[in-house]
Structure 1
């Protein structure tokens, strides 16, 4: 097999994996309500409906339920809306960073995690980890074949006072016997979230 053929095969495999990841991401965080029509009734801060796109073109998680809230510094709160297991062996955590303070919050580089390859992606939530105390395992944000984290990336460097930054992060799913996991993210208190 020639080197050119091997490179072509690798590129095709990488493209297929990336396409699958993007498809899953869009279905997990997009605004499709299953009817083929985009649900535009929900927007940031309404607390109703499925994940949707608002008038500003951004996608927001379903904020109708809150499974946990973790306090950060300078009035920042990490609100977790869902930790959902899917049939593909993934666990997707969705939520939003709410700036409840009176000043804009500058997002720290620690959120990207310590890996240099991941840092090349730009701002991300790659430093988020989940811990399964029952199985004594720690789970890190998944990466694609180009070592890009499967999480929200390239967001703005600050969160305006009173505004929110929606996010998602994908992990390997713990065994089905695990119903809750610990969540750790730089600058926030550590706690547990329930898996749906």
Structure 2
């Protein structure tokens, strides 16, 4: 009698433990852990609408667009000097600002005081963009560099020379062409004209 009672109690205890284990096993992957240990493709790795992972949004491509400027025109001459136009913007006050880079691709330092132009008023600007001009063929007009009352051009004045292999930035300001004008030629020194569009 005692032996049967003891076996019955052991059987009931084992059955109770089995049910507890089954219940715990069934509920273990539920919401107790906030879904963190369950499905690994849930919130953390959700794909963006374009199919890319949210983790990949800070790829190396991001932010690189600001490093490169659009080339509006590029010319080479004298004999290894490359002038690049990267911007042309109409400004308040009725003037046009043109900017870009100048690269000396030759094997020695270079300068050209003739870039100051032939106007006596601009001669003091020496090696600079002072001799630059814009031609608007649609208007049949030529625009000269703007200058202050002392004859200093509203433009870049370079150092004595540009070293071999060096690239420098430049800008030049002109009276703004007619609003209907969409294309101009930039001319300076002995370089060929650089044709580009303006808005």
TM (norm. structure 1) is: 0.64
Show structure 1 runs of 5+ residues with no match: 1-46, 51-62
CA distance in 1, matches of 2:175, 2:98: 11
CA distance in 2, matches of 1:133, 1:150: 23
- Alignment-derived partner of residue 79 in structure 2: 74
CA distance in 2, matches of 1:95, 1:104: 22
The runs of at least 4 consecutive aligned structure 1 residues that moved more than 4 Å come to none
The number of residues matched between the two structures is 136
How do 1:93-112 residues align onto structure 2 when only pairs under 5 Å count?
93-101=98-106, 103-112=107-116
Does 1:119 pair with 2:126?
Answer: no
Show structure 2 runs of 5+ residues with no match: 1-63
CA distance in 2, matches of 1:148, 1:88: 19
In angstroms, what is the RMSD of aligned CA positions? Answer: 1.8
- Alignment-derived partner of residue 191 in structure 1: 194
Q: Deviations over 1:144-187 (max 9, x none)?
A: 1222111111x222211221121100000001100111111112
TM (norm. structure 2) is: 0.63
3-state DSSP of counterpart to 1:85:
strand
Greater Rg over alpha carbons, structure: 2
Of residues 132, 151, 157, the one that matches 2:155 is 151
Q: 1:49 to 1:120 in 2, by over 3 A?
A: same
Contact preservation (8 Å) 2:75, 2:84? yes
Q: Deviations over 1:28-84 (max 9, x none)?
A: xxxxxxxxxxxxxxxxxxx8637xxxxxxxxxxxx5111100111231100010111
3-state DSSP of counterpart to 1:120:
helix
- Alignment-derived partner of residue 133 in structure 2: 129
CA distance in 2, matches of 1:134, 1:48: 33
Q: Which has the higher helix share?
A: 2
CA distance in 2, matches of 1:73, 1:130: 19
How do 1:1-196 residues align onto structure 2 when only pairs under 5 Å count?
49=66, 64-101=69-106, 103-153=107-157, 155-196=158-199
